[in-house]
Amino acid sequence: MIDSKHFNKIFEQSIFDYHITDDVNKTIINPYDEGILDFLLYKKNWIDTVQWHLEDIIREPSIDAKKALEIKRRIDKSNQERTDLVELIDDFFFNEFNNIKSNKNAFIATETPAWAIDRLSILNLKIYHMKEESEREDADKNHKNNCLNKLNILLQQKEDLTTAVNQLFENITKGNAVIRTYKQMKMYNDSNLNPVLRASLKKTD
């Protein structure tokens, strides 16, 4: 189903499922069949959710340097997986809309559908955790009110972005918008493109 409201439900489910144990080492159990869009969206948000908590852990002031480096490496790997998955989701949409002919005056969208959906996934995470903060029993009234105000802003952002993503799909379907894929082409994880990695490999030869 190509509807951003449906995407939100999948993201909310993934976030809820993760927080049953709230464990960054928990293995994902994807409830959707592999190969369909819902499977990719659930997996995408699960990666985002685990990384959210890794970002919290690595900021512990007394964290051991070795542990911090391990987590930093894990976050780097997660970022690459996230990017790869977003591009897979875009491939789904490009195949879905492949036969649609663009109108003469069609505009070029500023971002691909999957990168817009990526922002929607993160927004759902922000909302979950800001709501959690606004209801903390050990927090004072001022903290709760500040978080509640931020939560209301995030909820409005979610509503707006949900609408905007659906409008993008509508424009694509009608031929009013052109989408193109520009791969992220990240260089730092590729030993052929990162001179530091390339030099390191030469030392081990």
Q: How far apart are CA 111 and CA 117, in angstroms?
A: 10
pLDDT tens sequence across 159-175: 999 999 999 999 999 99
The H-assigned helical ranges of 97-194 are 113-134, 141-173
pLDDT tens sequence across 93-136: 999 998 899 998 999 888 899 999 999 999 999 999 999 999 99
Whether the predicted pLDDT of 196 surpasses 90:
no
| Amino acid 205: pLDDT | 62
Whether the predicted pLDDT of 201 surpasses 90:
no
CA-atom Rg of the chain in angstroms? 20
- Low-confidence winner among 48-62, 121-135, 189-203 (lowest mean pLDDT): 189-203
Whose tokens are 């852990």? That residue is 57
pLDDT tens sequence across 64-92: 999 999 999 999 999 999 999 999 999 99
Q: How far apart are CA 33 and CA 46, in angstroms?
A: 15
